[in-house]
Amino acid sequence: MNKYELVSRIEKIAPIETQEDWDCSGWVVDNNIADVNKVMLALTITDNVFKQAQEKQCDMIISHHPLFAVPLKFRNINIYASHTPMDKAVNGTTETLIKALGFKDFLMVNDFVRVVSTDITVDELSNKLYRISKNLRIINNDGIDKIKKIAFCAGSGSEFIETTDADAFVTGDVKYHTAVESSKVIFDIGHFESEILILNVFKDILGIEVEFSNEKTPFTQYSI
């Protein structure tokens, strides 16, 4: 399949013009090879992912996270990234996470945040999230037990925590001072865990043979 047709399928869902000013989504490498038989799907392109693409004889890499600097050796394979466009998209990163947890109805409160109205306890939601992320961290400074509204932002959504009308916020990469000062229940499920599900969406969009990169979160839990 022609590589531009593949990208066109992505951009129908996640238009490139919706990316944030600081983002580097779009063509990371657009070389003179147009035909694609197999795509490597990745959350983040690393040396290891690039090696996997070569070993699996993939003609292209499609990732969620872009590269802000492209190593010279990466330039012999086509690479396309959809970061903030896919974060904002209908059925994008945040909505994929919500559906994976079994919630069906939600509201879009801004480009990145979705809110679910529900009646659930902190423990019940914790159990749901733990099935997705074994690195789950919970901040509950006020000892809240019942949750009526849950806000979701896959990736790093800390900036929206206090500006969103919800009892709880689910995201990744929560910093210490954000946690200390919050009156909401915050669930930090990890950046990787909150976004990795989007690779299945890419697969469904593309309609071509794909290989999923062998990736994992760089964080591990220490136990004795």
Q: State pLDDT tens for residues 7-43.
A: 999 999 999 999 999 999 999 999 999 999 999 999 9
Overall average pLDDT of the 70-79 stretch: 94
* pLDDT single digits (tens) 152-174: 999 999 999 999 999 999 999 99
CA distances (Å), origin 104, targets 16, 119, 178: 27, 14, 29
Residue 116 lies in a domain: yes
Could you count the other beta carbons within 10 Å of the beta carbon of residue 53? 24
Mean pLDDT of 58-76: 95
The tens digit of pLDDT for each residue in 93-102 reads 999 999 999 9
d(CA 167, CA 117): 10
Indicate whether 109 and 140 sit together in one domain: yes
97 and 69 both lie in a single domain: no
Does residue 51 belong to any structural domain of this protein?
yes
Considering the domain architecture, whether residues 143 and 69 belong to the same structural domain is answered as no
In this predicted structure, what is the pLDDT of residue 93?
98
- Tell me which H or E stretch contains 174: none
Q: What does the DSSP assignment read for 53-96?
A: HHHTT-SEEEESS--SS--GGGGGSEEEE-SHHHHHSTTSHHHH
Q: Is residue 217 part of a domain?
A: no
Identify which of 166, 1, 183, 157 has the alpha carbon closest to the alpha carbon of residue 88: 157
Number of domains in the chain: 2
**Structural domain range at position 163:** 93-191
- Are both 127 and 159 inside the same structural domain? yes
Which pTM value belongs to this model?
0.95
Alpha-carbon distance of 68 to 103, in angstroms, equals 35
**Does 219 reside within a domain?**
no
Residues 202 and 186 in one domain: no
Kindly state whether residues 84 and 97 are assigned to the same domain.
Answer: no
Q: Is residue 218 part of a domain?
A: no
